[in-house]
Chains A and B, each alone.
Chain A
Amino acid sequence: MGSLTATVAPPTAPNVILWFRTFKAITGSGFRRYATYRQASVAGVVTNTVFGFLRCYVLLAAVGATGTVAGYDRGQLATFVWVGQGLLAVVLLWGWTELADRIRTGDIASDLLRPVHPVTSHLAADLGRAGHAALVRFLPPVLVGPLFFEVHVPRRWSTLPIFAFSAVVAVVLCFGCRFLVNATAYWLQDVRGPVILWTLASGVLAGLYFPLRFLPEWLQLVLWWGTPFPSLLQTPLDVLVERDPTGDQVGLVGLQVAWAVLILAVCRLVQRRAERRLVVQGG
Protein backbone atom coordinates (compact mmCIF):
# COMPACT_ATOMS: atom_id res chain seq x y z
CA MET A 1 0.00 0.00 0.00
CA GLY A 2 1.43 3.38 -0.91
CA SER A 3 1.83 5.57 2.12
CA LEU A 4 -0.22 8.71 2.24
CA THR A 5 0.78 11.48 4.57
CA ALA A 6 -0.80 14.82 5.13
CA THR A 7 2.45 16.58 4.45
CA VAL A 8 2.38 17.71 0.86
CA ALA A 9 4.90 15.91 -1.29
CA PRO A 10 7.65 18.12 -2.71
CA PRO A 11 7.04 19.25 -6.25
CA THR A 12 8.63 17.03 -8.91
CA ALA A 13 11.07 19.74 -9.89
CA PRO A 14 11.99 21.23 -6.53
CA ASN A 15 12.79 24.90 -6.70
CA VAL A 16 15.84 25.16 -4.46
CA ILE A 17 15.93 28.95 -4.47
CA LEU A 18 12.30 29.16 -3.43
CA TRP A 19 12.95 26.63 -0.68
CA PHE A 20 15.84 28.67 0.69
CA ARG A 21 13.73 31.83 0.53
CA THR A 22 10.96 30.19 2.55
CA PHE A 23 13.48 28.88 5.08
CA LYS A 24 14.99 32.34 5.42
CA ALA A 25 11.58 33.97 5.87
CA ILE A 26 10.62 31.57 8.67
CA THR A 27 14.00 32.07 10.33
CA GLY A 28 13.53 35.83 10.16
CA SER A 29 10.10 35.67 11.73
CA GLY A 30 11.49 33.45 14.51
CA PHE A 31 14.13 36.09 15.19
CA ARG A 32 11.63 38.96 15.26
CA ARG A 33 9.20 37.06 17.46
CA TYR A 34 11.74 36.66 20.27
CA ALA A 35 12.97 40.22 19.81
CA THR A 36 9.59 41.41 21.11
CA TYR A 37 10.01 39.75 24.54
CA ARG A 38 12.37 42.39 25.85
CA GLN A 39 11.54 42.20 29.56
CA ALA A 40 11.89 38.44 29.50
CA SER A 41 15.28 38.72 27.78
CA VAL A 42 16.61 41.08 30.46
CA ALA A 43 15.28 38.84 33.25
CA GLY A 44 16.88 35.82 31.59
CA VAL A 45 20.25 37.53 31.19
CA VAL A 46 20.32 38.56 34.85
CA THR A 47 19.47 35.03 35.95
CA ASN A 48 22.11 33.43 33.69
CA THR A 49 24.67 35.85 35.09
CA VAL A 50 23.83 35.18 38.74
CA PHE A 51 24.11 31.44 38.11
CA GLY A 52 27.40 32.10 36.33
CA PHE A 53 28.82 33.51 39.56
CA LEU A 54 27.40 30.66 41.66
CA ARG A 55 28.73 27.87 39.44
CA CYS A 56 32.06 29.54 38.77
CA TYR A 57 32.88 30.00 42.47
CA VAL A 58 31.90 26.39 43.28
CA LEU A 59 34.00 24.88 40.48
CA LEU A 60 36.96 27.13 41.26
CA ALA A 61 36.76 26.01 44.89
CA ALA A 62 37.13 22.43 43.64
CA VAL A 63 40.44 23.31 41.95
CA GLY A 64 41.92 24.10 45.37
CA ALA A 65 45.66 24.05 45.82
CA THR A 66 46.54 21.59 43.06
CA GLY A 67 45.83 24.08 40.27
CA THR A 68 43.94 21.71 37.98
CA VAL A 69 40.93 19.44 38.29
CA ALA A 70 39.90 16.80 35.75
CA GLY A 71 42.28 18.37 33.22
CA TYR A 72 40.95 21.94 33.54
CA ASP A 73 42.86 24.83 35.09
CA ARG A 74 41.15 27.79 36.76
CA GLY A 75 40.89 29.86 33.59
CA GLN A 76 39.45 26.96 31.60
CA LEU A 77 36.80 26.32 34.26
CA ALA A 78 35.82 29.99 34.34
CA THR A 79 35.44 30.07 30.56
CA PHE A 80 33.54 26.79 30.68
CA VAL A 81 31.01 28.19 33.16
CA TRP A 82 30.49 31.64 31.66
CA VAL A 83 30.28 30.59 28.02
CA GLY A 84 28.09 27.70 29.19
CA GLN A 85 25.65 30.16 30.78
CA GLY A 86 25.45 32.04 27.49
CA LEU A 87 25.21 28.93 25.35
CA LEU A 88 22.44 27.52 27.52
CA ALA A 89 20.04 30.19 26.27
CA VAL A 90 21.17 29.76 22.65
CA VAL A 91 20.68 25.99 22.41
CA LEU A 92 17.63 26.39 24.71
CA LEU A 93 17.67 23.18 26.71
CA TRP A 94 14.31 23.88 28.35
CA GLY A 95 11.07 25.68 27.87
CA TRP A 96 9.86 24.83 24.40
CA THR A 97 6.49 23.09 24.26
CA GLU A 98 5.13 24.81 21.16
CA LEU A 99 4.76 21.65 19.12
CA ALA A 100 3.15 19.74 22.00
CA ASP A 101 0.72 22.61 22.57
CA ARG A 102 -0.26 22.66 18.89
CA ILE A 103 -0.80 18.90 18.94
CA ARG A 104 -2.94 19.10 22.06
CA THR A 105 -5.10 21.91 20.75
CA GLY A 106 -5.35 20.43 17.26
CA ASP A 107 -3.69 23.43 15.60
CA ILE A 108 -1.20 20.95 14.20
CA ALA A 109 -3.77 19.98 11.57
CA SER A 110 -3.40 23.35 9.84
CA ASP A 111 0.41 23.07 9.95
CA LEU A 112 0.22 19.84 8.00
CA LEU A 113 -1.49 21.61 5.11
CA ARG A 114 1.47 23.91 4.62
CA PRO A 115 3.91 23.11 1.85
CA VAL A 116 6.87 23.04 4.26
CA HIS A 117 7.69 19.93 6.25
CA PRO A 118 6.91 20.51 9.98
CA VAL A 119 10.44 19.52 11.05
CA THR A 120 11.91 21.98 8.54
CA SER A 121 9.63 24.87 9.44
CA HIS A 122 10.10 24.44 13.20
CA LEU A 123 13.86 24.12 12.70
CA ALA A 124 13.93 27.31 10.67
CA ALA A 125 11.97 29.19 13.34
CA ASP A 126 14.27 27.76 16.02
CA LEU A 127 17.37 28.93 14.15
CA GLY A 128 15.86 32.40 14.11
CA ARG A 129 15.27 32.20 17.85
CA ALA A 130 18.84 31.00 18.39
CA GLY A 131 20.15 33.88 16.30
CA HIS A 132 18.35 36.34 18.51
CA ALA A 133 19.59 34.54 21.63
CA ALA A 134 23.16 34.60 20.32
CA LEU A 135 23.04 38.40 20.23
CA VAL A 136 21.00 39.11 23.36
CA ARG A 137 21.48 36.15 25.70
CA PHE A 138 24.92 34.80 24.75
CA LEU A 139 27.02 37.93 24.83
CA PRO A 140 26.20 39.41 28.29
CA PRO A 141 27.43 36.48 30.44
CA VAL A 142 30.39 35.99 28.13
CA LEU A 143 31.34 39.64 28.59
CA VAL A 144 30.61 39.80 32.35
CA GLY A 145 32.63 36.69 33.26
CA PRO A 146 36.06 38.06 32.28
CA LEU A 147 35.42 41.23 34.33
CA PHE A 148 35.42 39.21 37.57
CA PHE A 149 37.35 36.02 36.78
CA GLU A 150 40.53 35.13 34.98
CA VAL A 151 39.33 33.29 31.88
CA HIS A 152 40.98 31.09 29.31
CA VAL A 153 41.37 32.73 25.91
CA PRO A 154 41.77 30.22 23.04
CA ARG A 155 45.38 29.94 21.90
CA ARG A 156 45.03 27.99 18.65
CA TRP A 157 43.66 29.85 15.62
CA SER A 158 41.52 26.84 14.70
CA THR A 159 39.60 26.75 17.98
CA LEU A 160 37.17 29.60 17.39
CA PRO A 161 35.90 28.41 13.99
CA ILE A 162 35.51 24.85 15.33
CA PHE A 163 33.64 26.22 18.35
CA ALA A 164 31.31 28.32 16.19
CA PHE A 165 30.50 25.32 14.02
CA SER A 166 30.05 23.11 17.08
CA ALA A 167 27.65 25.62 18.65
CA VAL A 168 25.50 25.70 15.51
CA VAL A 169 25.40 21.89 15.42
CA ALA A 170 24.42 21.93 19.11
CA VAL A 171 21.50 24.26 18.33
CA VAL A 172 20.25 21.96 15.57
CA LEU A 173 20.72 18.83 17.69
CA CYS A 174 19.00 20.35 20.71
CA PHE A 175 16.09 21.40 18.52
CA GLY A 176 15.82 17.80 17.29
CA CYS A 177 15.76 16.46 20.84
CA ARG A 178 13.11 18.97 21.89
CA PHE A 179 11.07 18.13 18.81
CA LEU A 180 11.12 14.44 19.77
CA VAL A 181 10.13 15.17 23.37
CA ASN A 182 7.26 17.33 22.08
CA ALA A 183 6.25 14.76 19.48
CA THR A 184 5.39 12.26 22.22
CA ALA A 185 2.23 14.38 22.50
CA TYR A 186 0.97 12.68 19.31
CA TRP A 187 0.66 9.51 21.39
CA LEU A 188 0.38 10.73 24.99
CA GLN A 189 -1.53 14.07 24.71
CA ASP A 190 0.00 15.10 28.08
CA VAL A 191 3.76 15.59 27.68
CA ARG A 192 4.54 16.47 31.28
CA GLY A 193 6.19 13.12 31.98
CA PRO A 194 8.59 13.22 28.99
CA VAL A 195 9.33 16.90 29.62
CA ILE A 196 10.25 16.19 33.26
CA LEU A 197 12.54 13.34 32.18
CA TRP A 198 14.14 15.51 29.50
CA THR A 199 14.69 18.41 31.91
CA LEU A 200 16.30 16.14 34.49
CA ALA A 201 18.51 14.27 32.06
CA SER A 202 19.62 17.20 29.92
CA GLY A 203 20.68 19.44 32.83
CA VAL A 204 22.98 16.85 34.33
CA LEU A 205 24.15 14.91 31.27
CA ALA A 206 24.80 17.89 28.99
CA GLY A 207 27.44 19.25 31.37
CA LEU A 208 25.53 22.22 32.76
CA TYR A 209 25.79 21.40 36.48
CA PHE A 210 29.37 20.15 36.33
CA PRO A 211 31.81 19.31 33.50
CA LEU A 212 31.23 15.68 32.51
CA ARG A 213 35.00 15.13 32.72
CA PHE A 214 34.48 15.04 36.51
CA LEU A 215 32.83 11.63 36.01
CA PRO A 216 34.66 8.29 35.78
CA GLU A 217 36.11 7.61 32.33
CA TRP A 218 33.83 4.66 31.44
CA LEU A 219 30.75 6.74 32.21
CA GLN A 220 32.02 9.54 29.97
CA LEU A 221 32.41 7.07 27.09
CA VAL A 222 28.89 5.73 27.63
CA LEU A 223 27.45 9.24 27.69
CA TRP A 224 29.26 10.53 24.60
CA TRP A 225 28.71 7.50 22.38
CA GLY A 226 25.38 6.34 23.80
CA THR A 227 23.48 9.60 24.26
CA PRO A 228 23.22 12.96 22.47
CA PHE A 229 23.40 14.90 25.76
CA PRO A 230 27.17 15.72 25.93
CA SER A 231 26.94 17.03 22.36
CA LEU A 232 24.49 19.73 23.50
CA LEU A 233 26.82 21.75 25.76
CA GLN A 234 29.86 19.83 26.89
CA THR A 235 31.36 19.35 23.40
CA PRO A 236 31.29 23.00 22.27
CA LEU A 237 32.58 24.13 25.67
CA ASP A 238 35.41 21.56 25.73
CA VAL A 239 36.35 22.70 22.24
CA LEU A 240 36.43 26.35 23.30
CA VAL A 241 38.56 25.84 26.42
CA GLU A 242 40.93 23.62 24.42
CA ARG A 243 40.60 20.71 26.81
CA ASP A 244 41.95 18.37 24.08
CA PRO A 245 44.35 18.63 21.10
CA THR A 246 42.93 19.78 17.76
CA GLY A 247 42.46 16.25 16.44
CA ASP A 248 40.24 15.29 19.39
CA GLN A 249 38.32 18.55 19.04
CA VAL A 250 37.46 17.68 15.45
CA GLY A 251 36.58 14.13 16.47
CA LEU A 252 34.17 15.35 19.16
CA VAL A 253 32.47 17.69 16.72
CA GLY A 254 32.25 14.86 14.18
CA LEU A 255 30.43 12.76 16.75
CA GLN A 256 28.18 15.72 17.40
CA VAL A 257 27.33 16.02 13.69
CA ALA A 258 26.54 12.30 13.57
CA TRP A 259 24.12 12.73 16.49
CA ALA A 260 22.47 15.74 14.85
CA VAL A 261 21.94 13.88 11.55
CA LEU A 262 20.59 10.81 13.35
CA ILE A 263 18.20 12.77 15.58
CA LEU A 264 16.86 14.87 12.69
CA ALA A 265 16.25 11.68 10.70
CA VAL A 266 14.38 10.23 13.66
CA CYS A 267 12.34 13.45 13.88
CA ARG A 268 11.20 13.05 10.27
CA LEU A 269 10.42 9.40 10.82
CA VAL A 270 8.43 10.09 13.97
CA GLN A 271 6.54 12.89 12.25
CA ARG A 272 5.61 10.54 9.38
CA ARG A 273 4.35 7.86 11.72
CA ALA A 274 2.44 10.43 13.74
CA GLU A 275 0.76 11.86 10.66
CA ARG A 276 -0.50 8.46 9.63
CA ARG A 277 -1.89 8.01 13.09
CA LEU A 278 -3.51 11.44 13.01
CA VAL A 279 -5.22 10.61 9.72
CA VAL A 280 -6.58 7.39 11.22
CA GLN A 281 -7.89 9.25 14.23
CA GLY A 282 -9.45 11.96 12.10
CA GLY A 283 -11.32 9.36 10.10
Chain B
Amino acid sequence: MADSSGGTLAAYRALLGAQARAQTAYRTSFAIDLVGNVGSTVFDVLTVLVIFGVTRELGGFTLRETMVMVGLSTCAFAVADLLVGNIERLPRYVRTGLFDAVLVRPLGALPQLLLMDLPLRKVSRAVFGLAVLVVAVGSAGVGWTPARALLVVLAPLAGVVFFGSVFVATATVSFWWVDSGELANSVTYGGRDFTSYPVTVFEGWFRAVFAYGLGFAFVSYHPALTLLGRADPLGLPAWVGWAAPAVALVAAAGAAAAWRTGVRHYRSTGS
Protein backbone atom coordinates (compact mmCIF):
# COMPACT_ATOMS: atom_id res chain seq x y z
CA MET B 1 0.00 0.00 0.00
CA ALA B 2 2.71 2.43 1.06
CA ASP B 3 4.69 1.31 -1.96
CA SER B 4 1.95 2.06 -4.46
CA SER B 5 1.20 5.52 -3.05
CA GLY B 6 4.93 6.26 -3.22
CA GLY B 7 4.86 5.26 -6.87
CA THR B 8 1.91 7.55 -7.52
CA LEU B 9 3.70 10.45 -5.87
CA ALA B 10 6.79 9.80 -7.96
CA ALA B 11 4.64 9.83 -11.09
CA TYR B 12 3.14 13.20 -10.17
CA ARG B 13 6.60 14.52 -9.34
CA ALA B 14 7.85 13.38 -12.75
CA LEU B 15 4.94 15.17 -14.44
CA LEU B 16 5.72 18.37 -12.55
CA GLY B 17 9.44 18.14 -13.30
CA ALA B 18 8.80 17.67 -17.01
CA GLN B 19 6.55 20.72 -16.97
CA ALA B 20 9.15 22.85 -15.19
CA ARG B 21 11.86 21.86 -17.67
CA ALA B 22 9.64 22.36 -20.71
CA GLN B 23 8.41 25.79 -19.63
CA THR B 24 11.80 27.18 -18.70
CA ALA B 25 13.56 25.81 -21.79
CA TYR B 26 13.08 29.07 -23.69
CA ARG B 27 14.42 31.49 -21.14
CA THR B 28 13.58 34.81 -22.80
CA SER B 29 10.06 33.67 -23.54
CA PHE B 30 9.65 32.54 -19.93
CA ALA B 31 10.98 35.86 -18.62
CA ILE B 32 8.52 37.82 -20.81
CA ASP B 33 5.72 35.60 -19.56
CA LEU B 34 6.71 36.21 -15.94
CA VAL B 35 6.64 39.98 -16.44
CA GLY B 36 3.49 39.94 -18.56
CA ASN B 37 1.62 37.90 -16.00
CA VAL B 38 2.36 40.24 -13.15
CA GLY B 39 1.17 43.08 -15.40
CA SER B 40 -2.49 42.10 -15.47
CA THR B 41 -2.65 41.92 -11.68
CA VAL B 42 -0.82 45.24 -11.35
CA PHE B 43 -3.48 46.85 -13.53
CA ASP B 44 -6.27 45.36 -11.42
CA VAL B 45 -4.80 47.05 -8.36
CA LEU B 46 -4.12 50.21 -10.35
CA THR B 47 -7.79 50.37 -11.36
CA VAL B 48 -8.80 50.53 -7.70
CA LEU B 49 -6.24 53.30 -7.11
CA VAL B 50 -7.48 55.32 -10.12
CA ILE B 51 -11.08 55.07 -8.94
CA PHE B 52 -10.00 56.29 -5.51
CA GLY B 53 -8.27 59.15 -7.31
CA VAL B 54 -11.70 60.66 -8.05
CA THR B 55 -13.53 59.66 -4.87
CA ARG B 56 -12.63 59.55 -1.18
CA GLU B 57 -14.64 56.49 -0.28
CA LEU B 58 -16.28 53.59 -2.04
CA GLY B 59 -19.35 52.02 -0.47
CA GLY B 60 -18.43 53.64 2.86
CA PHE B 61 -14.84 52.34 2.92
CA THR B 62 -11.59 54.29 2.59
CA LEU B 63 -8.73 53.40 0.27
CA ARG B 64 -6.71 51.77 3.06
CA GLU B 65 -9.63 49.61 4.12
CA THR B 66 -10.49 48.67 0.55
CA MET B 67 -6.88 47.72 -0.12
CA VAL B 68 -7.12 45.02 2.57
CA MET B 69 -9.94 43.47 0.56
CA VAL B 70 -7.96 43.91 -2.68
CA GLY B 71 -4.98 42.21 -1.04
CA LEU B 72 -6.97 39.24 0.22
CA SER B 73 -8.72 38.87 -3.14
CA THR B 74 -5.63 39.28 -5.33
CA CYS B 75 -3.55 36.93 -3.21
CA ALA B 76 -6.20 34.20 -3.10
CA PHE B 77 -7.10 34.49 -6.78
CA ALA B 78 -3.50 34.56 -8.02
CA VAL B 79 -2.49 31.45 -6.07
CA ALA B 80 -5.64 29.58 -7.07
CA ASP B 81 -5.11 30.61 -10.69
CA LEU B 82 -1.53 29.33 -10.53
CA LEU B 83 -2.51 25.97 -9.07
CA VAL B 84 -5.89 25.25 -10.64
CA GLY B 85 -6.64 28.03 -13.14
CA ASN B 86 -5.52 26.09 -16.17
CA ILE B 87 -8.45 23.76 -15.76
CA GLU B 88 -10.21 26.35 -17.91
CA ARG B 89 -8.53 24.57 -20.82
CA LEU B 90 -10.76 21.59 -20.19
CA PRO B 91 -13.00 22.37 -23.20
CA ARG B 92 -9.96 22.00 -25.45
CA TYR B 93 -8.97 18.71 -23.86
CA VAL B 94 -12.50 17.44 -24.36
CA ARG B 95 -12.64 18.66 -27.97
CA THR B 96 -9.24 17.27 -28.99
CA GLY B 97 -9.68 13.96 -27.20
CA LEU B 98 -6.67 14.50 -24.93
CA PHE B 99 -8.99 13.87 -22.01
CA ASP B 100 -9.32 10.23 -23.12
CA ALA B 101 -5.57 9.76 -22.74
CA VAL B 102 -5.75 11.22 -19.24
CA LEU B 103 -8.58 8.91 -18.20
CA VAL B 104 -6.85 5.67 -19.21
CA ARG B 105 -3.78 6.35 -17.06
CA PRO B 106 -3.76 4.91 -13.53
CA LEU B 107 -3.64 8.36 -11.89
CA GLY B 108 -6.36 10.81 -10.83
CA ALA B 109 -7.70 12.74 -13.81
CA LEU B 110 -7.84 16.14 -12.10
CA PRO B 111 -4.29 16.15 -10.59
CA GLN B 112 -2.90 14.95 -13.92
CA LEU B 113 -4.58 17.73 -15.87
CA LEU B 114 -3.38 20.34 -13.39
CA LEU B 115 0.21 19.08 -13.30
CA MET B 116 0.37 18.62 -17.07
CA ASP B 117 -0.25 22.29 -17.49
CA LEU B 118 0.94 24.02 -14.33
CA PRO B 119 1.64 27.56 -15.58
CA LEU B 120 4.86 28.41 -13.74
CA ARG B 121 4.84 31.87 -15.32
CA LYS B 122 1.95 32.79 -13.01
CA VAL B 123 4.26 32.50 -10.00
CA SER B 124 5.06 36.21 -10.42
CA ARG B 125 1.40 37.06 -10.03
CA ALA B 126 1.04 35.08 -6.83
CA VAL B 127 4.12 36.78 -5.37
CA PHE B 128 2.73 40.19 -6.29
CA GLY B 129 -0.64 39.32 -4.75
CA LEU B 130 1.05 38.37 -1.51
CA ALA B 131 3.03 41.63 -1.54
CA VAL B 132 -0.17 43.66 -1.98
CA LEU B 133 -1.75 41.85 0.97
CA VAL B 134 1.28 42.45 3.20
CA VAL B 135 1.48 46.15 2.32
CA ALA B 136 -2.28 46.65 2.64
CA VAL B 137 -2.54 44.94 6.01
CA GLY B 138 0.58 46.75 7.21
CA SER B 139 -0.73 50.21 6.32
CA ALA B 140 -4.36 49.74 7.34
CA GLY B 141 -3.62 50.17 11.06
CA VAL B 142 -4.86 46.76 12.15
CA GLY B 143 -4.99 46.37 15.95
CA TRP B 144 -3.17 43.06 16.14
CA THR B 145 -4.43 40.28 18.39
CA PRO B 146 -3.49 36.58 18.18
CA ALA B 147 -6.89 35.89 16.63
CA ARG B 148 -6.38 38.50 13.88
CA ALA B 149 -2.87 37.22 13.19
CA LEU B 150 -4.37 33.77 12.70
CA LEU B 151 -7.12 35.13 10.46
CA VAL B 152 -4.72 37.00 8.19
CA VAL B 153 -3.09 33.65 7.38
CA LEU B 154 -6.26 31.57 7.34
CA ALA B 155 -8.39 33.86 5.18
CA PRO B 156 -6.12 33.88 2.09
CA LEU B 157 -5.71 30.10 2.34
CA ALA B 158 -9.46 29.67 2.49
CA GLY B 159 -9.70 32.07 -0.45
CA VAL B 160 -7.33 29.90 -2.48
CA VAL B 161 -9.45 26.81 -1.80
CA PHE B 162 -12.61 28.78 -2.62
CA PHE B 163 -11.37 30.21 -5.92
CA GLY B 164 -9.84 26.84 -6.81
CA SER B 165 -13.24 25.22 -6.29
CA VAL B 166 -14.88 27.87 -8.47
CA PHE B 167 -12.35 27.18 -11.24
CA VAL B 168 -13.01 23.43 -11.15
CA ALA B 169 -16.78 23.72 -10.78
CA THR B 170 -17.18 26.17 -13.67
CA ALA B 171 -14.84 24.15 -15.89
CA THR B 172 -16.99 21.04 -15.50
CA VAL B 173 -19.75 22.87 -17.37
CA SER B 174 -17.75 22.11 -20.51
CA PHE B 175 -18.49 18.38 -20.13
CA TRP B 176 -22.03 19.26 -21.12
CA TRP B 177 -21.52 22.41 -23.09
CA VAL B 178 -18.25 22.43 -25.02
CA ASP B 179 -18.11 26.10 -26.01
CA SER B 180 -18.67 27.41 -22.49
CA GLY B 181 -15.24 28.94 -21.89
CA GLU B 182 -16.35 32.53 -21.54
CA LEU B 183 -19.23 31.55 -19.32
CA ALA B 184 -16.79 30.31 -16.69
CA ASN B 185 -14.96 33.64 -16.87
CA SER B 186 -18.03 35.50 -15.65
CA VAL B 187 -17.84 33.63 -12.33
CA THR B 188 -14.05 33.23 -11.96
CA TYR B 189 -12.78 36.62 -13.14
CA GLY B 190 -16.11 38.18 -12.20
CA GLY B 191 -15.66 36.80 -8.70
CA ARG B 192 -12.17 38.24 -8.53
CA ASP B 193 -13.48 41.69 -9.49
CA PHE B 194 -16.39 41.35 -7.06
CA THR B 195 -14.12 40.48 -4.12
CA SER B 196 -11.82 43.45 -4.86
CA TYR B 197 -14.47 45.90 -3.67
CA PRO B 198 -16.56 46.22 -0.51
CA VAL B 199 -19.80 44.28 -0.89
CA THR B 200 -21.65 47.53 -0.04
CA VAL B 201 -20.70 48.87 -3.48
CA PHE B 202 -23.14 46.44 -5.09
CA GLU B 203 -26.89 46.40 -4.67
CA GLY B 204 -30.02 44.34 -4.75
CA TRP B 205 -30.29 40.84 -6.18
CA PHE B 206 -26.89 41.13 -7.88
CA ARG B 207 -25.19 41.53 -4.52
CA ALA B 208 -27.31 38.77 -3.00
CA VAL B 209 -26.35 36.33 -5.74
CA PHE B 210 -22.61 37.02 -5.85
CA ALA B 211 -21.99 37.73 -2.16
CA TYR B 212 -24.13 35.10 -0.46
CA GLY B 213 -25.55 32.87 -3.21
CA LEU B 214 -22.11 32.10 -4.60
CA GLY B 215 -20.31 32.93 -1.33
CA PHE B 216 -17.82 35.54 -2.57
CA ALA B 217 -18.48 37.83 0.43
CA PHE B 218 -16.50 35.41 2.61
CA VAL B 219 -13.33 35.60 0.53
CA SER B 220 -12.34 39.18 1.35
CA TYR B 221 -15.16 41.38 2.63
CA HIS B 222 -16.04 39.70 5.91
CA PRO B 223 -12.47 38.67 6.85
CA ALA B 224 -11.36 42.26 6.13
CA LEU B 225 -14.10 43.64 8.40
CA THR B 226 -12.91 41.38 11.22
CA LEU B 227 -9.27 42.35 10.64
CA LEU B 228 -10.16 46.05 10.64
CA GLY B 229 -12.46 45.66 13.63
CA ARG B 230 -15.37 47.25 11.78
CA ALA B 231 -19.00 46.38 12.17
CA ASP B 232 -20.73 45.19 9.00
CA PRO B 233 -22.85 48.01 7.51
CA LEU B 234 -25.13 45.26 6.20
CA GLY B 235 -25.74 43.98 9.74
CA LEU B 236 -24.13 40.53 9.78
CA PRO B 237 -22.45 39.59 13.12
CA ALA B 238 -18.68 39.90 13.58
CA TRP B 239 -17.98 36.14 13.73
CA VAL B 240 -18.94 35.84 10.04
CA GLY B 241 -15.36 36.91 9.27
CA TRP B 242 -14.33 33.48 10.53
CA ALA B 243 -16.71 31.63 8.24
CA ALA B 244 -14.25 31.71 5.32
CA PRO B 245 -12.69 28.24 5.93
CA ALA B 246 -16.09 26.61 6.35
CA VAL B 247 -17.41 28.26 3.19
CA ALA B 248 -14.28 27.17 1.33
CA LEU B 249 -14.77 23.56 2.43
CA VAL B 250 -18.40 23.59 1.29
CA ALA B 251 -17.27 25.01 -2.06
CA ALA B 252 -14.57 22.35 -2.39
CA ALA B 253 -17.08 19.60 -1.67
CA GLY B 254 -19.43 21.05 -4.26
CA ALA B 255 -16.68 21.30 -6.85
CA ALA B 256 -15.57 17.70 -6.18
CA ALA B 257 -19.13 16.47 -6.64
CA ALA B 258 -19.52 18.47 -9.85
CA TRP B 259 -16.23 17.09 -11.17
CA ARG B 260 -17.13 13.47 -10.40
CA THR B 261 -20.53 13.84 -12.01
CA GLY B 262 -18.92 15.48 -15.01
CA VAL B 263 -16.32 12.76 -15.52
CA ARG B 264 -19.01 10.11 -15.23
CA HIS B 265 -21.11 11.96 -17.75
CA TYR B 266 -18.17 12.43 -20.11
CA ARG B 267 -18.44 10.87 -23.54
CA SER B 268 -15.46 11.10 -25.80
CA THR B 269 -15.86 13.20 -28.92
CA GLY B 270 -14.03 10.41 -30.70
CA SER B 271 -11.30 12.67 -32.00
Contact = CB atoms under 8 A, between A and B. Distances in A.
Interface stretch (A26-34, A167-175, A196-204, A235-243): A196-204
B81 to A, nearest CB: 15
Given A58-B51, A204-B43, A43 B179 contact: yes
Contacts of B186: 46-47, 50-51
Interface string B98-130: 000000000000000000000000000000000
B58 A197 contact: no
B206 A190 contact: no
A50 B194 CA distance: 10
A55 B32 CA distance: 30
A47 B55 contact: no
Contacts of A58: 51, 58, 193, 197, 201
Nearest to B52: A62
A21 to B, nearest CB: 33
Given A53-B206, A196-B39, A200-B36, A214 B179 contact: no
B59 interface: yes
Main secondary structure of the interface of B (DSSP, over half): helix
Nearest to B57: A64
Interface in A46-102: 46-47, 50-51, 53-55, 57-59, 61-64, 69-70
Contacts of A197: 36
Given A43-B180, A61-B59, A62-B54, A193 B43 contact: no
B60 to A, nearest CB: 9
Contacts of B202: 53-54, 57
Main secondary structure of the interface of A (DSSP, over half): helix
Q: By CB atoms of chain B within 10 A, which of A53, A63, A148, A197 has the most?
A: A53
A54 B193 contact: yes
A192 interface: yes
B249 interface: no
Contact of A39 (B37, B43, B180, B194): B180
Contacts of B32: 192-193, 196
Interface residues of B, number: 37
Contact of B55 (A50, A62, A196): A62
B33 interface: yes
A200 B58 contact: no
B57 A47 contact: no
Contact of A204 (B46, B59, B190): B46
Interface string B190-213: 100110010001110010000000
B33 A214 contact: no
B179 A200 contact: no
B153 to A, nearest CB: 28
A203 B46 CA distance: 12
B44 to A, nearest CB: 8
A136 B83 CA distance: 35
B53 interface: yes
Nearest to A72: B54
A228 B53 CA distance: 24
A220 to B, nearest CB: 12
Given A39-B177, A43-B179, A190 B29 contact: yes
A59 B193 CA distance: 13
B182 interface: yes
23 contacts: A39-B177, A43-B179, A43-B182, A47-B185, A51-B186, A51-B193, A57-B202, A57-B203, A57-B206, A58-B201, A61-B55, A63-B55, A69-B55, A192-B29, A193-B32, A196-B33, A196-B39, A200-B40, A204-B43, A204-B46, A210-B47, A210-B50, A214-B54
Interface of B: 29, 32-33, 36-37, 39-40, 43, 46-47, 50-51, 53-59, 177-183, 185-187, 190, 193-194, 197, 201-203, 206
